Amino acid sequence: MNHQEKPPEENLTELMAFVLLGFADIPHLQWFLFGLFLIIYIIILMSNGTIFLITKMDPALQSPMYFFLANFSFLEICYVSATLPKMLMNLGTQRRIISLVACATQMCFVLMFGGTECLLLAVMAYDRYVAICNPLNYPLVMNHRVCIQLVTGSWTIGIPVMIGRTYQIFSLPFCGSNQINHFFCDIPLILKLACGDTFVNEMLVYIVSVLFIMVPFLLILGSYSKIISIVLKLPSAIGQAKAFSTCSSHLTVVVLFFGSAIITYLRPNTRDSEGTDKMLSLFYSILTPMFNPMIYSLRNKDVIIALRKLLCK
C-alpha cells in the first residue's frame, strides 16, 4: 500500500487524536450501557480485590495455587482498568476523542496485561499438573523461590516485546480516517487506519500472537490432557470428583479467554469483522475478569471458608 500524501494541517489533526466510536451505533442505550459497565467494573474491583486480600491474609491459603490466584486477581484489576475507565468516560460524556499518546499508552498496557495473563494461566496449569500428576514432589518442585520466578517471568517477559510492538505500530503514518470502531485502542483496528505498508506489522502481530496466545494455550491443553489421564486412573470416585472440581474452574477461564483472543488476533481481519471483534473483545477484556472470581469462589471450598472468616471479622 502506497503512502498517501495529505495536507500538513489535516495530517497534524489526524496524528494528534483518534475517535473511539465504541457503542455510538446504539445512541439510545448509552446511559444503560454506562450503568451496566459501571456495575461490572465495581464487581470486578470488589471481587478480585477480595480474593487478593483473603489469599494474602488467611494462613490456610498460603499454598502455591493461591499465590498464583492472588497474582491473577491483581492482574485482572490492572487489565480492566486499562480499558473500562476510558470507556465509561466516553459513554458518560459522549466525548470519544483519545489523543495519539493516550491511545498508544492504552494499547501498550492492554498488550502487556493481556500477555501476562496468557503466561500466568499457563503457569497455573503447570502448578495443577505438578500437584495432581506428581503430588509427592509438589512441595519440592513448586517451592517459594520457583513460584516467585514463575510469576516474575510472567509479569516481565512480555514488557519489552509489547513496548516494541506499540512503538512500531504508532511509528506508521496515519493519513486516513481517524475513527476507531472499538471501545479501546486495539492493534487490528489501528493498523487499518495506517496508510503505509502494514504487511510487516501484520506478520509481527501473528508471530507475537502465536508466542503469547497459542503457545501458552497449547501448553495448558497439554497439562490438562496429562491431568485428565491421571485422574481417570484414580481408583476413588471421590478423588476423581475432587481433582476435576479443582481444575474445571481454571479450564473454564482458559476456554473463555483464549477462545475469544485466538479468534480476534489469529484470523484474517476484514472491515466486516470489526463488529465481531468488538463483541469478542468484551469476553476477554471485561466478561472473563468479572466471571473469574465467581468461578474460583463458587468452585473452591477453601476460598469460601476464608471469605466467611473475613466477613465474620
Question: What are 98's strand-pairing partners?
Answer: 18
For the cut 60, the answer to whether the pLDDT of residue 3 exceeds it is: no
Contact between 169 and 107 (Cβ < 8 Å):
yes
CATH of residue 242 = 1.20.1070.10
Residue 2 domain-assigned (yes or no) = no
What does the pLDDT read at residue 13?
Answer: 40
Residue 88 included in any domain: yes
User: Per DSSP, what are the bridge partners of residue 20?
Assistant: 180
Let me know if residue 99 belongs to a domain.
yes
Domain count, the chain: 1
3-class DSSP state of 17: strand
Q: What is the pLDDT of residues 111-163, one digit of tens each?
A: 999 999 999 999 999 998 998 888 899 999 999 999 999 999 999 999 999 99
Given this model, what pLDDT does residue 12 score? Answer: 36
* Cell 489501528 belongs to residue: 190
Q: 73: how many CB neighbours lie within 10 A of its CB?
A: 23
- Express each pLDDT in 164-210 by its tens digit: 999 999 988 887 788 899 999 999 889 888 887 888 999 999 999 99
Share of the chain above pLDDT 90, in %: 48
Residue 3 domain flag = no
In a domain, 255, yes or no: yes
Calpha distance 79→296 (Å, rounded): 18
Query: What pLDDT is recorded for position 195?
Result: 81
**Strand pairing class (97-99; 179-180):** unpaired
Residue 162 forms part of a structural domain: yes
- By C-alpha distance, which of 118, 120, 113 is closest to 64? 120
Q: Which residues contact 280 (CB under 8 A, 6 or more apart)?
A: 260, 263, 264
**Residue 1: pLDDT over 60:** no
Give the model's confidence band at 11: pLDDT under 50 very low, under 70 low, under 90 confident, else very high. Answer: very low
Q: What are the DSSP calls for 88-112, one per residue?
A: HHHHHH---EEEHHHHHHHHHHHHH
Helix, strand, coil share of the chain (percent; to 5): 80, 5, 20
114 lies in a domain?
A: yes
Q: Which domain holds residue 100?
A: 8-312
Q: Which helix or strand (DSSP H or E) is residue 255 part of? A: helix 237-265
